[in-house]
Amino acid sequence: MLNDYNEVLQKLCHHLEQLVGPGVEITPQTDLINELAIDSVKLLNLIMEIEDEFDISVPINALADVQTVHELASLIHRIKAQEQ
């Protein structure tokens, strides 16, 4: 069943909270690199977790355009929709 965007966003935020720890506010506009200090290695590991969660493959190339939580959630949502 196609996950809607809000469901994707909610699950993504849950993964991010586990990654950066408690006490950090995460919104759709949060910048992954500058605000959450997620470097390239952490981002690739996060992507592996997300891929398992949503049963998708995220091409590394597509991450070049991703800076915010919203952009990553949109990308996941789009790939999930394409693969269904």
Partner 1 sequence: MSLLDKLDAVAAARKALLPEGVEVFGTPIEEVYSSTEARIGDHRILFLGTNNYLGLTFAQECRDAAQEAIHSEGTGTTGSRMANGSYRGHRALEREFAEFYQCRSCIVFTTGYQANLATISGLAGPGDIVLIDGDSHASIYDGCRLSGAEIIRFKHNDPADLEKRLRRLGERSRSTLIIAEGIYSMLGDRAPLADIVKVKDAYNSTLLLDEAHSLGVLGETGQGLVEETGLLDRVDFITGTFSKSLGGIGGYCVSNHPQLDQLRYVSRPYIFTASPTPATIASTRAALRLLREGVELRRQLWKNVHQLYSQLKELDYRLGPEPSPVIATILETPQQALALWKGLLENGIYVNLVLPPATPEGNSLVRCSVSAVHTSEQMNHVGKTFARLRETVFQ
Give the interface with partner 1 as residue ranges (CB under 8 A).
Answer: 39-42, 44-45, 47-48, 55-61, 83
Of 52, 45, 56, nearest in space to 18 by CA: 45
Cα gap 66→51, rounded to integer Å = 16
Closest contact distance (angstroms) between CB of 32 and partner 1 is: 15
Whose Cβ is closer to partner 1: residue 25's or residue 55's?
Answer: 55
Nearer to partner 1, 30 or 54 (CB): 54
SS3 31: strand
Residue 58 φ then ψ, to 5°? -105, 115
Q: Which is nearer to partner 1, 48 or 81 (CB)?
A: 48
